[in-house]
Chain A
């Protein structure tokens, strides 16, 4: 009898916990549906970066003006975007990772500022500028993931620290750059440091206490990766035992990379969290024989337990540094005449993938830039790329310069997130149009020291065979049909488009450029409708909100990141930021460092 009652109580407790989880989940999700606010770094769980606001339209956007600006006082690359929760805007900065709460009702005055104290030894172990991609909000708290891999929960009203927890050790090269995501009572964070041999993982912490709930590694034994060898699938087949160790030679998986520094998305109906893993370490492929699972992989994990439902490895045994961390955009669209719940992903490797997000079935995989040449196509049965030996750095060997590989290591697209408009059913994708020479060579691992093992030069992509020469340009902003796997329109940009896009119900699409322009284009045709040059190059993501009855559009400027590091680091000639500046050296003719926010209205 007593036993039964206990069971009943437990059942009630579990049910209640379920309800409260559901409540917290619903609350944040409802807030994300309120177009007046922008409560998640990614706009919504599906990573649409789409707003229902339509005061600003393709007709009147030409009349947009600057409403107000804000300087962050920090010089380095400003990635990500601010949040708007109610009448408060939350602005974040690169290292030292300040957070400002601005009162939108009172001239955007500073309600509070949080300025963490971090070990300056964090600076030299950040690979590609000291960027941060934004804070998350839930249940009255702001979650900041600092450069030193400390996750902090702040009271959203006062900025007072509620709790903090260490998610990594800078002495091992583990750092934080990604924006957290909150689902129910958990906040998810990844880890950066693929150039330091860091083994990647996604970790869930309790939003109230900061207690660690689960951690799923990118490689290692099944118990580390949270894989059920019989139930976790890769293209419909069970992955089998210890796929995260037996596709590596010896203990290389322990320093295997696969870091998780990109964006996360969530499907509440399937209760799955989606994200991608980065490059296997080192950049010298000869030193790590095998498929190096599960680097370069799309993961679908149970949001509560972290167990892996399915995986898909896009670039087995990477030879080019084509990290798979770019965002997973969840959309319900017809594919080949059938309505599907899909996941759309534009990978560094130059292929745009459309998968069924329920089971990871590969539906479409097509190049989203004609110049991509390292592979001719993706084998739709095995999911593996059909590679071209001439452009394979392992095939050509160590100490050999493999020439004219497209895309470059920074990918046809990097972390700069795309947008999806349910109105046009098109994906708006900021891209790089850059190629490279790559030379791998032997390196040794030491904790906390760079573990790269390759030299590379980058340069503007040549004209693709059979295409007309449109002059040198290192970036393109494209509209993509994920059903057909085809580009609908494209805009050439002088430099890589390293800014996240925004699509709106006014049929306007916004993005920023490395020279510093905020641009607005027609969602259907790509026609340029508006541009304004902000004080510094843009690598942040455009967001929008409603306040005082007016639609506002906001963008960070502050050049830097991998694309801008040559300039951010004050360089004038080739080779910097792991090769990026080769193609970007003339950027210094257009803009200078400087972190700030520019807000527009009609």
Chain B
């Protein structure tokens, strides 16, 4: 039985692995390359699988204040719908983990580094699935219906967040 601190350390370690993976493995083909299965599912009734819904929630809790509803973009930050079509999974991870700064006389765009943000990093694959579903046009900006939260998703959520 891991203590809360151990779980958190484990989670941080996992995040470092992800970060290291992103840096070291570039430009190796990703786990979710074009020939792979799509990271999301949408059933005949339009319901998404839990990871995609989870990504929707986490995106709108952490990312949308700058990148806008459904990844549409804003004057703070660019739309993600086009960039997610060309950006590899590894590139996506790299930017989420390390952030970006683009400050000059004309623009003051700053993306914070989310490497230490468990609410992002624990769900970084979910957010990816959601954004790919958006970029593919498989779902709209409104709150998607989902097929249910599997017990293991609840377990993983708790373990990674350190509750």
Contact = CB atoms under 8 A, between A and B. Distances in A.
A124 B142 CA distance: 24
A442 B157 contact: yes
Interface string B138-163: 00011100000100000001100111
A444 B110 contact: no
Nearest to B154: A399
B112 A576 contact: no
A116 interface: no
Given A569-B66, A569-B74, A572-B72, A444 B118 contact: yes
A568 B74 CA distance: 8
Given A123-B108, A444-B122, A449-B119, A575 B161 contact: no
Nearest to B116: A446
Given A124-B66, A125-B112, A127-B65, A571 B74 contact: yes
A577 B114 CA distance: 19
B47 interface: no
B98 interface: no
Nearest to B102: A120
A332 interface: no
B69 A576 contact: yes
Nearest to B57: A455
Nearest to A572: B72
Interface of chain B: mostly helix, strand, loop or mixed: mixed
A593 B76 CA distance: 13
A338 to B, nearest CB: 48
Given A124-B112, A457-B143, A569 B117 contact: no
A577 B141 contact: no
Contact of B141 (A401, A448, A574): A574
B142 A399 contact: no
Contacts of B64: 575-576
A442 B163 contact: yes
Interface in A121-140: 121, 123-125, 127-128
Nearest to B141: A573
A581 B112 CA distance: 23
A10 B143 CA distance: 68
B57 A446 contact: no
A449 B122 CA distance: 14
A443 B61 contact: yes
A455 B60 contact: yes
Nearest to A127: B65
B116 A576 contact: no
B119 A570 contact: no
Interface in B10-57: 57
Interface residues of B, number: 37
B101 interface: yes
A6 B69 CA distance: 68
B3 interface: no
A449 B143 contact: no
B75 A575 contact: no
A488 to B, nearest CB: 38
Contacts of A327: none
Contacts of A571: 68-69, 72, 74
Interface string A436-458: 00010111101011111111010
Contacts, number: 102
Contacts of A444: 118-119, 122, 161-163
Contacts of B110: 120-121, 123-124
A575 B66 contact: no
Interface string A340-373: 0000000000000000000000000000000000
A125 B110 CA distance: 10
Contact of A573 (B69, B75, B114): B69
B1 interface: no
B61 A452 contact: yes
Contacts of B103: 120
A75 B141 CA distance: 27
Nearest to A452: B61
A570 B117 CA distance: 26
B111 interface: yes
A46 interface: no
B111 A124 contact: yes
B62 interface: yes
A578 interface: yes
B143 to A, nearest CB: 7
Contact of B158 (A442, A454, A568): A442
Nearest to A195: B65
B112 to A, nearest CB: 5
A574 B69 contact: yes
Given A568-B75, A569-B74, A578 B65 contact: yes
Contacts of A581: 69
A166 B117 CA distance: 25
A465 to B, nearest CB: 27
A436 to B, nearest CB: 12
The residue among B60, B66, B108, B110 with the most chain A CB atoms within 10 A of its own CB is: B60
Given A568-B75, A575-B69, A120 B61 contact: no
Interface in B48-102: 57, 60-62, 64-66, 68-70, 72-76, 101
A576 B75 contact: no
Nearest to A578: B65
A431 B116 CA distance: 39
Nearest to A122: B110
Interface string A319-352: 0000000000000000000000000000000000
Contacts of A577: 65
Nearest to A569: B74
B151 to A, nearest CB: 13
Contacts of A120: 101, 103, 108, 110
Contacts of A399: 149
B33 to A, nearest CB: 30
A76 to B, nearest CB: 9
Given A443-B161, A446-B117, A569 B68 contact: yes
B141 A121 contact: no
B163 to A, nearest CB: 6
Interface of B: 57, 60-62, 64-66, 68-70, 72-76, 101, 103, 108, 110-112, 114, 116-120, 122, 141-143, 149, 157-158, 161-163
20 contacts: A120-B108, A441-B61, A442-B161, A442-B163, A444-B118, A446-B118, A449-B62, A449-B117, A450-B62, A450-B65, A452-B61, A453-B119, A455-B61, A568-B75, A569-B66, A571-B68, A571-B72, A573-B141, A574-B69, A576-B65
Given A443-B61, A446-B116, 13 more contacts: A123-B110, A128-B65, A401-B143, A442-B161, A444-B119, A444-B122, A444-B161, A446-B119, A449-B117, A455-B143, A569-B68, A572-B72, A574-B69
Which 6 pairs of residues, A with B, have the shortest CB-CB distance?
A569-B74, A575-B69, A444-B118, A570-B75, A449-B117, A444-B161
